[in-house]
Structure 1
Amino acid sequence: MSIRTSMVTKIGSASAALLLAGTIAACGGDSTVDSDDETQGSSVPSVSSAPTGSASSETSSPTSTPAPDAGSDGDSPRDGEVNEVEEPGGEAAPRTSEDDAFLAELKDKDIDLEDSAIQDQVIAAAREQCLANEEGRDGFAVPMIAGQLEVQELTKVSAEDAERIIVEAAESNYCG
């Protein structure tokens, strides 16, 4: 092996080592992973990052931002935690005269919806149908809600008939 080949090999090895070191340093970046989340069994780690484009001359260092004080009830949300909702809260959406006429038309055609949450869904589907008509496209919500009504046995008519009835009622009550 010649001196020249040996020198090229050493320079190549040194360059590769510097490139590898730079890549490892770059991967660290200004993002940090909170290791406390990993010990709590969460599969989604909390990630924080420094603001980009900062004109500050300070060195970037990982910091943690304190969570806002949510009181002493202990029910404040935390990273990686999901609270189950068993019953929807709040009141039913207020009904307009259009809504009342729309629901009455559905009831006259064997789609009698007593649950206000289902009524809200059907009203929203009807309004989406009007938007679809304006935009010159097929609506997507009415076919889904019609299928839902049939599967949940909330109507005596087929999903196809329910879809037709809802579209007709939407066009006569909401679409202008």
Structure 2
Amino acid sequence: MNPAILTYNTPTSGEITKTIYEYEFKRLWKKNLDGNIANLFFGIFCLLIVVLTLIFEPDLFTGFFAGMGLIAFSTYFSRYLSYRTSKKKLKEIIEKDISDLKLNSNDVIWEFTPDHFKFKNYKSEYKCIWSEITYCVVDDQFLYITASFTTQFHFRQSQRRRRKPK
């Protein structure tokens, strides 16, 4: 039996590119934002303890909880500002990539063989053996592949068109 080579031809589109970038951004920031909300609640909790101890009986721990609350709030605002800066940079990156796509509207080629995986778009071409792939996630809409910890590929499954096997 001759091993099959599956080749997918994905059309380039600004909408697909934007969706992929936003998906990846949300995936990377999800844990950070969850931790940031925890910081906000911890800061509110600490400041409530400060208010209650000031009302009923000020003691040594009032200053401690005030400091913890301020640290939690400063961490929350620092992460929030970092998130907003990153989101602004993401918009700039998306706009640049979409304008580059309009200039170079070649389709993205995905090739799956028994010994390697190959990816080719207007910017670059990658070919890696399966043992170099270190991380792979498949969900209802995306195939996300990381090869050798540095190279990342995104494949939106609902937009694929299959070519005939070679």
Q: Assess same fold via TM > 0.5.
A: no
More helix by share: 2
If asked which structure has higher relative contact order (CA below 8 Å, sep 6+), I would say 2
TM-score, with normalisation over the residues of structure 1? 0.22
TM-score, with normalisation over the residues of structure 2? 0.23
More strand by share: 2
